[in-house]
Chain A
Amino acid sequence: MSAVPGPARTRRDTARRDTAERPRRFAFTPVVAVYVALVVLLVAGSALVALGGGVLLDQGGVVNILTRATALGLVAVGQTLVVVTGSLDLSVAHLVGLCSLVAAETMAGSGTMVVPGVLLALAVAAVVGLVNGLVITVLGVNAFIATLGVALVLRGYLEHGYTGPAGSVPRSFQHLGYARVGPVPVGALLALLVAAAAWWYLRRTRGGYHAYAVGGDVDVARLSGVRTGRTIVTAHVLCSVAAGLAGVFLAARLGSGAPHVGTDAGYDLESIAAVVLGGTALAGGRGGVVGTVGGVLLLATLDTVFDDLAVDPFFKDVVRGVVLVVAVALYARRRPFRGAA
């Protein structure tokens, strides 16, 4: 039910942008598709879990799905911002680990250091994003290689300096990971807030329009007077800060910083998967945050259903791979990616 406002809003939005070619009627866009798939999965999953004698969508189940969706959601919303500009960020997974460490080590169990810890973690994230963006725009390095390079540098630092969890988070800060408002975890509210902010940025600000323009065709954007470099750098900084928030959230949940928390969950490729699942074109210029949120919820629900059914965890990877490819294949049938590529 909660899914309904999302696609409607975007449908109206896309319709507004493309009035010339598209009549104002219900369009089966990828964003709609991903929420339909989510509803189908929730229904089918509830039925399957019920057959096994459990309940998928009781309070615990909802909390479970939302908690799973929180960290990936933060990273994926950030990733959306860069993918829309036609870039991508492979460094987010290591950045999540790094930021969890920065936050936890700064706090060192002291309640008074919570704010400096969070701010420092986000500042570190912003710097990493700035580096990503500048390497791409100023040095002219392909985004894939630039962010892979930064990811390797971060990995080297993490592996050299840490063998396991470090630092600790005061009890007061752990509320961020565990407190709830009714059935909704505070962390999920935070993620939703970030998603809303990202939606607002992309759809309601000049910077957002520029991001779509750059992703659509960087040369046309440049000739139209868009500062393409600045747009790409901004997107990378925002993406990294979102990943930093995910790191801070995970530190609150784990009670300490963990160097491999991001890579173990595969947030780099997983977040790109969620973005693409949500209908954002990897080529850039198309898609948005609403779809990404749907993609994240879909992946989180899939995980929870499999957990409730006690399916082998590795089978999840197989299904996830198939779902990803099938979903994108279905979108591609409708709107060929070819043109942009």
Chain B
Amino acid sequence: MTRRPRLADGTAPVLVVLAVLLVALAFAGPAYTEPAGYLALFKRAAPLVLLAVGQYFVVVSGGFDLSVGALVTAEVVIAARLVAGDDANALPVIALLLGFGVLVGLLNGLITTKLLVPSFIVTLGMLLVLDGAVFLWTGGAPRGALSPSFRVFGRGGFDVPLLGQVPWSVVVVLVVSAGAVLFMRSGTGRTLLAVGDNDTAVRLAGGLVDRLRLVAFALSGLLAALAAVLLAGFAGVSAQVGAGLEFRAITAVVLGGVVLGGGRGSVVAAAAGGLSLEALFSLLNLLGVPGALESAVQGLIIVTAVAYAARSTGPRRASRARERGPVTP
């Protein structure tokens, strides 16, 4: 048998979609004839890609994380308050933010695994708590400001010959994606995938199901925190930055062919799903589709994509996905 690069199950379609979108962008807008245009796209997409990778861990293990949007908002608001415009604060605050993200993820995971509450409800509760707490704390208008050194991760870059300026956020995304791929190829990652497919089997085989689920939620929280750092740098501070990002991240993951209910899908596909979604929005923009209609197009696309996936993988998987969708712990 010859060794060839192997794509995980279900990765190919989203890569085709992504390629088509990127080529279409080149035809639609003059900005996309040079690397700079694509790098700008990657920079815009970076937070969503991170969120999609984080959501992937939770979805593939059979859960949902609806709290990431609210978590992003909370992180950005906390960052603005604590950095208070002072450059010296940037790095300690970033460390604190990542810690907070992990903490929220762990809390989600602990309630899901120890108290046996379905993750849909746990993270919905966390969404309400975080949203309420942020508004309670800020009264709707975040105080404080970010410093230039904090924002460099989201908007800055470094010069590379031929490519021009490469944004730091692209580097972050590449590093995280590579790490995620390595993780999913490790024993732990493979077992995580198995948990989503059949947690009873994993438990009987001696796998630590609860601990794996906990890891998945913690990673989702960590990556949401990282996404918040990039997003704050890129877009600035507001109390609405994270609104709706949880559904967008789930859309991205599903667009990447990851099956809700768990057990199937690759991390590369999830990341590519996030990138595709952002590329799609850019394309719609260039084609002059009004911003308000974007969500309608997004809705049609994800339903079509999932319907296509359900068709092409046969009825068994379709019925499984349907029956297990909102049902997971």
Quick one: CB contact mask for A133-165 with B, threshold 8 Å, 1 for yes? Answer: 001100111111110111111111101100000
B: residues with CB less than 8 A from A are 62, 64, 66, 111, 115-118, 120-122, 124-129, 131-136, 247, 250-251, 254, 260-261, 290, 292-300, 302-303, 306-307, 310-311, 315, 318-319, 321-329
Chain A nearest CB from B201 CB (Å) reads 14
25 A–B contacts, CB within 8 A, in A order:
A86-B326, A88-B326, A139-B306, A139-B310, A140-B310, A140-B311, A142-B322, A144-B325, A149-B300, A153-B295, A282-B118, A314-B134, A317-B135, A318-B128, A321-B125, A322-B125, A324-B121, A324-B125, A325-B115, A329-B115, A337-B116, A337-B118, A338-B329, A340-B327, A341-B327
Contact in complex: A328, B118 (CB < 8 Å): yes
Chain B contacts for A340, CB-based, 8 A: 327
A273→B124 contact, CB < 8 A: yes
A191 nearest CB across to chain B (Å): 23
Interface pair A142/B325, CB less than 8 Å apart: yes
The complex places the Cα of A325 from the Cα of B297 at a distance, in Å, of 34
Give the docked Cα–Cα distance between A321 and B108 (Å). Answer: 12
Collect the chain B residues with CB atoms within 8 Å of residue A283's CB. Answer: 118, 326-327
Asked if A276 is at the interface (CB within 8 A of a chain B CB), the reply is yes
Residues of the A chain whose Cβ atoms lie less than 8 Å from the Cβ of B303 = 135, 139, 141, 145-146, 149-150
Q: Categorize the interface residue count of chain A.
A: 35 or more
Tell whether, in the assembled complex, residue B326 and residue A329 are in contact, meaning their CB atoms are under 8 Å apart.
Answer: no
Which single member of A87, A150, A159, A328 contacts B117 (CB below 8 Å)?
A328
- Whether A325 lies near B319 (C-beta < 8 A) is no
Given A317-B129, A318-B136, residue A145 in contact with residue B302 (CB < 8 A): yes
| Bound: A71/B78 CA distance, A | 35
The CA-CA distance from A219 to B260 in the complex, in Å, is 18
Q: How far apart are the CA atoms of A318 and B116 in the complex, in Å?
A: 21
**A98 CA / B254 CA spacing, docked (Å):** 27
Q: Are A329 and B128 in contact (CB under 8 A)?
A: no
Q: Most chain-A CB neighbours within 10 Å: which of B115, B302, B321, B323?
A: B323
A19 vs B107: C-alpha distance when bound (angstroms): 38
Chain A 244-256 interface 0/1 with B at a Cβ cutoff of 8 Å (1 = within): 0000000000000
Apart from A148-B302, A155-B295, what 13 extra A-B contacts exist at CB < 8 Å?
A: A88-B326, A139-B306, A145-B250, A145-B260, A145-B302, A149-B300, A153-B295, A156-B292, A156-B296, A157-B296, A317-B135, A318-B129, A321-B132
Docked CA distance A276–B310 (Å):
28
Bound CA span A317–B310, Å: 37
Q: How far is the CA of A40 from the CA of B252 in the complex (A)?
A: 43
Assess the B296–A153 pair: CB atoms within 8 A.
Answer: yes
Bound Cα distance A83, B11 (Å) = 32
Say if the beta carbon of A26 comes within 8 Å of chain B: no
Among candidates B128, B134, B290, B326, residue contacting A144 with C-beta atoms closer than 8 Å: B326
- CB contacts (< 8 Å) of B294 on chain A: these are 156
Cβ-defined partner of A325 (8 Å) among B122, B133, B135, B298 = B122
Provide the residues of chain B in CB contact with A321, threshold 8 Å: 124-129, 132
Q: A203: CB under 8 A from chain B? A: no
Minimum C-beta distance from A164 to chain B (A): 13
Is A142 within 8 A of B329, CB to CB? no
The docked-state distance in angstroms from the alpha carbon of A318 to that of B152 is 33
CA distance A88 to B324 in the complex (A): 12
Return B247 CB to nearest CB of chain A, in Å.
6
Q: Which residues of B contact A143 (CB under 8 A)?
A: 322, 325-326
